[in-house]
Structure 1
Amino acid sequence: MRFVAMCSAPAPLDQAAIRVRHTLMLLALLWDADRARVDLAHELRLSRSATGNIVNELLAAGLVQEVGQREDGSVGRRATLLRLKACAAALLAVDLGASHARMDLLDLRCRTLGTRTVAHDITRGPGATYSLLAGLLEQLLLETRIDRSQIALLGIGVPGPVDHDTGCVVQPPNMPGWDSENIAAELGRLVALPVLVDNDANLGALAESRFGAHAGLSDLIYIKVATGIGAGILLGGQLHRGVRGGAGEIGHISINEQGPVGRSGNPGSLESYAAAQVVPALAAQLRATGLQTRLPDPASLQDLLTHAAHDPLARAVWETTGHHVGVAVSTVLNLFNPQAVVIGGRLALAGEVFLDAVRASAVGRTMHINAARAHIALGTLGAEVGVLGAGAMMVDHLLTPRGLPLLYSIARRAGQPVAEATPLAQDAASRAPPAVSAVYTPHPSPPRSHPYSPRRNT
């Protein structure tokens, strides 16, 4: 899978800007796979000497390393392969949910070097949350023996709308006490790191399009169904955030204008029918109709998830909930005509009974032209989706003209790269991001051009 470095192209480009652009393109190719200098020169359409100069600079900076010679069966001198040095800098990824906080220390390929997950009530407010995260950071530094100076960025996903211009959370229904909180500024001040922040569903879309079963798709909608319900919208390879960053708040769309009032105050919103907090009440209503069940009374959300495939009451709950989500999915399909709709979040753990109901409800309400080629599926990344999305956001930022100097400075700092810790999950090649052209920046930027089209690596 190929990762595309995004860089704006002012006209005319001076020599320094051209050099930066070529450097980013070269790093993007090495994110895709190991390559020889001759391969890089060919793909970048540069002379071997120009390519060699860039490679030498990256070798000196500690961002690239030579990893042996290519075995291609040819006679004569074999080409030396180059590899991106994923341990040249570390990334700190945070997945902040309504009832948990997870922090992972990642390398540049978004492989986990150390992780901590704790229960945490987000309604305790910003101060308590920042203190908790600062403590998790200290634990990870001790565990991994990675120096704080080697961390390039902290990226955090939150379960609420984020103003893309200011980085402030805006009236989040599921985050009382957080309205107008500038997480990037306040958390960054406490941990002494640059901080990037985005809505968790947006990061879910990035993660699934980079690392999930639908990696490489340019038009993908990720819907997170948990305490709240939100959507990350990837169109043409770029996240669609809207004017301020509020696009994708699908949980607050009314699917029945005469229905119950949800947390947003809108009657008949999707969250009032299908969010985690209303599912146990639905189970109680269905039990009262005489449905047989072996579940305790009252049944918890976990009870219903655990027995989704077998217990009659649990199946009825997830069929009903899936139907409601499917109504909203049909709206997404008719509005955006994506290649895939991926459903994640805690409620997706109900599995196939839930997914089948979503599909049946959605397809029956969607125009054929929008439904025929759309794949509706459950997410494949599970609990990893939040930290992988934050990792993708940070990598995107580093592979821009604005982020490249930071990447250089971290790689050169202290004279030693991040220790070669053993990743906790997958191998290096499996975490090389594919081509998705969304780039997060803390401030608005003009549309960006890119030299390659998204494709999947086979």
Structure 2
Amino acid sequence: MSSAALPDTLDLAAIRARHTLLLLNRLWQGDRARVDLARELGLSRSAISSIVTELLEAGLVQEVGPRLSGCAGGQGSGGKSGSGQVGRRATLLALNARAAALLAVDLGASHARVDLLDLRCTTLASRTAQHDILRGPAATYALLSRLARAVLAEAGVPREQVAGVGAGVPGPVDHATGCVVQPPNMPGWDGENVMAGLEEALGLPTRVDNDANLGALAETRFGAHRGASDLIYVKAATGIGAGVLLGGRLHRGVRGGAGEIGHISINEQGPVGRSGNPGSLESYAAAQVLVETARTRRAAGTPSTLPDPLTLADLLAHAGTDPLARAVWAEAGHHLGVAISTALNLFNPSAVVIGGRLAQAGEVFLHPLRESALSRTMRINAGGTRIDLSTLGADAGVLGAGAMLLDHLFTPLGLRHLYRVAGSGRGPPQTPSAAPLPLPHSPGGTL
């Protein structure tokens, strides 16, 4: 082979891989016939048939029968050809969502959850346990390993069929190393390489990211604002963090610390929060601060029917009915809105989605938040922006972990791994000298 021919060969392989991924993404969105794929992707029927044949043999795609009702397609679509002749009903193709499985880990300050997902991120089995993250990495990995074994056993899925593990943690993650860095709400975890720890505990390749980043991925793929390319997801719970999606991509910053909205100072003369910064948002609106505020105010005489001692669960359950609870949530919403206005003026997103446990307070929390944020935002940045509560609830973490894995499996390198997990032993066309590749990793443990 001449040196001049080599780039052409590499380009052709890359183009075919790209077309394969485009086709898989279309089938992830919904069933389609070959004729539909040819039209939508601008490829010839023969090119589509070649790729589909490969995917059928790999087990990633399956035929699910003829199109049931009339569709204004061309010949083979169940309609008429250009010559007026009636053609065969087109055979619909579907992504085989059970060709591989994903393990999704949602780790919080007081809970651990592991879900086994299919390739559409539908839960096949789920386990949740109360867990204090202050117990440290070793105890946490041991618990996650037990939960993972339980979901695999319940679903009857062998470990070899799992394409990877995605995990969200409630602290800043260095994207280049996979380590958590000075996590305010995870004492004892500073410098811990969570990716390596989980890989050793679970025996599977792993990706790790901040839980708010995963919330943003979940919202844009599965939430009410699905498809949004500029979106901010705010997770408000024990800590407060934000996942920032710009131009369809997560904005992580140089090391992965972007989005730490909880440590923005909203009052430079205010109390010191967990990060050590005076007047940070978390020193006013984090979960435990709200509980302490409510207890202090009741002791000072504010009327309330809440139990004594009150808890966050009490504040949430009576958010709209108890006068003390209403006042606490209104004030918390106001403070969070002040911080969100800064994000609106910086990034001008189409949507801000509020998730995490504090979002369960509902409108009594959301209304003052909106009012506070939008009144402090320039009109050009406020006019087209929606501020809503998440509709994904407690599933945001595992859905975000699944979305993170899909984003990396649906790449040329990830696709080769997906072929192998599906058990075919075949991969997308590659250069003759290319050897089978291991599951792709970056220094941060990416698939």
CA deviations 1:348-397 (Å, max 9, x no partner) are 11110000110111111111111111111111101100000000000111
Q: Is the 8 A contact 2:241 2:260 kept in 1?
A: yes
Q: What one-letter code is carried by the residue in structure 2 that aligns with 1:21?
A: R
Q: Which residue of 2 aligns with 1:113?
A: 124
| 1:20–1:443 CA distance, 2 compared to 1 (3 A) | farther
Q: Is the 8 A contact 2:103 2:166 kept in 1?
A: yes
Write the distance in 1 (CA, Å) between the matches of 2:103 and 2:48.
Answer: 32
Q: What one-letter code is carried by the residue in structure 2 that aligns with 1:272?
A: S
| 1:413–1:173 CA distance, 2 compared to 1 (3 A) | farther
Q: Shift in Å at residue 107 of structure 1?
A: 0.2
| 1:86–1:283 CA distance, 2 compared to 1 (3 A) | same
Q: Is the 8 A contact 1:141 1:147 kept in 2?
A: yes
Q: Which residue of 2 aligns with 1:454?
A: none
Q: Which residue of 2 aligns with 1:138?
A: 149
Q: Shift in Å at residue 284 of structure 1?
A: 2.4
1:98-177 equivalence runs, <5 A: 98-177=109-188
Write the distance in 2 (CA, Å) between the matches of 1:337 and 1:19.
Answer: 37
Q: Which residue of 2 aligns with 1:358?
A: 369
CA deviations 1:319-347 (Å, max 9, x no partner) are 11111111101111111111111011111
For residue 202 of structure 2, the aligned residue among 187, 191, 206 is 191
Q: Which moved more, 1:288-297 or 1:327-336?
A: 288-297
Q: Which residue of 1 aligns with 2:11?
A: 14
Q: Is the 8 A contact 1:286 1:317 kept in 2?
A: no
1:416-435 equivalence runs, <5 A: none
1:186-225 equivalence runs, <5 A: 186-225=197-236
Does residue 52 of structure 2 align to residue 55 of structure 1? Answer: yes
Q: What one-letter code is carried by the residue in structure 2 that aligns with 1:202?
A: N
Q: What one-letter code is carried by the residue in structure 2 that aligns with 1:401?
A: P
Does residue 22 of structure 2 align to residue 28 of structure 1? Answer: no
Q: Shift in Å at residue 11 of structure 1?
A: 9.4
Write the distance in 2 (CA, Å) between the matches of 1:318 and 1:312.
Answer: 10
Q: Provide the secondary structure at the position in 1 that maps to 2:343.
A: helix
Q: Shift in Å at residue 29 of structure 1?
A: 1.0
Q: Provide the secondary structure at the position in 1 that maps to 2:421.
A: helix
Q: Provide the secondary structure at the position in 2 that maps to 1:168.
A: coil
Q: Which residue of 2 aligns with 1:368?
A: 379
Q: Is the 8 A contact 2:125 2:155 kept in 1?
A: yes
Q: What one-letter code is carried by the residue in structure 2 that aligns with 1:29?
A: R
Q: Which moved more, 1:99-108 or 1:290-299?
A: 290-299
Q: Which residue of 2 aligns with 1:77?
A: 88
| 1:80–1:255 CA distance, 2 compared to 1 (3 A) | same
Q: What one-letter code is carried by the residue in structure 2 that aligns with 1:172?
A: P
Q: Shift in Å at residue 298 of structure 1?
A: 3.0
Q: Shift in Å at residue 186 of structure 1?
A: 1.9
Give the TM-score taking structure 1 as reference length. Answer: 0.87
Write the distance in 2 (CA, Å) between the matches of 1:101 and 1:259.
Answer: 33
For residue 354 of structure 2, the aligned residue among 343, 349, 371 is 343
Q: What one-letter code is carried by the residue in structure 1 that aligns with 2:213?
A: N
Q: What one-letter code is carried by the residue in structure 2 that aligns with 1:30?
A: L
Write the distance in 1 (CA, Å) between the matches of 2:9 and 2:355.
Answer: 44
Give the TM-score taking structure 2 as reference length. Answer: 0.89
Q: Is the 8 A contact 1:150 1:413 kept in 2?
A: no
Q: Which residue of 1 aligns with 2:411?
A: 400
| 1:441–1:210 CA distance, 2 compared to 1 (3 A) | farther
Q: Is the 8 A contact 2:59 2:424 kept in 1?
A: no
| 1:237–1:365 CA distance, 2 compared to 1 (3 A) | same
| 1:396–1:244 CA distance, 2 compared to 1 (3 A) | same
1:148-297 equivalence runs, <5 A: 148-297=159-308
Write the distance in 2 (CA, Å) between the matches of 1:378 and 1:335.
Answer: 21
Asked which structure has the greater CA Rg, the reply is 2
CA deviations 1:167-209 (Å, max 9, x no partner) are 1111111111111111111210221100000000000001011
* Structure 1 runs of 4+ with >6 Å offset: none
Q: Provide the secondary structure at the position in 2 that maps to 1:179.
A: coil
Write the distance in 2 (CA, Å) between the matches of 1:156 and 1:413.
Answer: 27
Q: What one-letter code is carried by the residue in structure 1 that aligns with 2:104?
A: A
Q: What one-letter code is carried by the residue in structure 1 that aligns with 2:49?
A: G
Q: Which residue of 2 aligns with 1:42?
A: 39
Write the distance in 2 (CA, Å) between the matches of 1:289 and 1:178.
Answer: 37
Q: Is the 8 A contact 1:397 1:441 kept in 2?
A: no
Write the distance in 2 (CA, Å) between the matches of 1:173 and 1:283.
Answer: 23
Q: Shift in Å at residue 44 of structure 1?
A: 2.0
CA deviations 1:423-449 (Å, max 9, x no partner) are xxxxxxxxxxxxxxxxx974589xxxx
Q: Provide the secondary structure at the position in 2 that maps to 1:109.
A: coil
Q: Provide the secondary structure at the position in 1 that maps to 2:17.
A: helix
Q: Is the 8 A contact 2:207 2:444 kept in 1?
A: no
Q: Shift in Å at residue 14 of structure 1?
A: 2.0
Write the distance in 1 (CA, Å) between the matches of 2:64 and 2:209.
Answer: 36
CA RMSD of the aligned region, Å?
A: 1.9
For residue 409 of structure 1, the aligned residue among 411, 414, 420 is 420
| 1:12–1:359 CA distance, 2 compared to 1 (3 A) | farther
Write the distance in 1 (CA, Å) between the matches of 2:295 and 2:397.
Answer: 31
Q: Is the 8 A contact 1:164 1:442 kept in 2?
A: no
Q: Shift in Å at residue 305 of structure 1?
A: 0.6
Q: Which residue of 2 aligns with 1:97?
A: 108
> How many residue pairs align between the two structures?
412
For residue 301 of structure 1, the aligned residue among 312, 315, 319 is 312
Write the distance in 2 (CA, Å) between the matches of 1:95 and 1:321.
Answer: 25
Q: Shift in Å at residue 60 of structure 1?
A: 0.3
Q: Shift in Å at residue 76 of structure 1?
A: 2.5
- Structure 2, gaps ≥5 residues long: 1-6, 71-78, 80-85, 427-439
Q: Shift in Å at residue 13 of structure 1?
A: 5.0
Q: Kindly, what percent of the aligned residue pairs are identical?
A: 69
Write the distance in 2 (CA, Å) between the matches of 1:362 and 1:372.
Answer: 12
Q: What one-letter code is carried by the residue in structure 2 that aligns with 1:394?
A: L
Q: Which residue of 2 aligns with 1:434?
A: none
Q: What one-letter code is carried by the residue in structure 2 that aligns with 1:92?
A: L
Q: What one-letter code is carried by the residue in structure 1 that aligns with 2:190?
A: D
| 1:12–1:250 CA distance, 2 compared to 1 (3 A) | farther
Q: Is the 8 A contact 2:244 2:259 kept in 1?
A: yes
Q: Provide the secondary structure at the position in 2 that maps to 1:86.
A: coil
Q: Shift in Å at residue 105 of structure 1?
A: 0.2
- Structure 1, gaps ≥5 residues long: 1-9, 416-439, 446-458
Write the distance in 2 (CA, Å) between the matches of 1:320 and 1:212.
Answer: 27
For residue 388 of structure 1, the aligned residue among 399, 403, 408 is 399
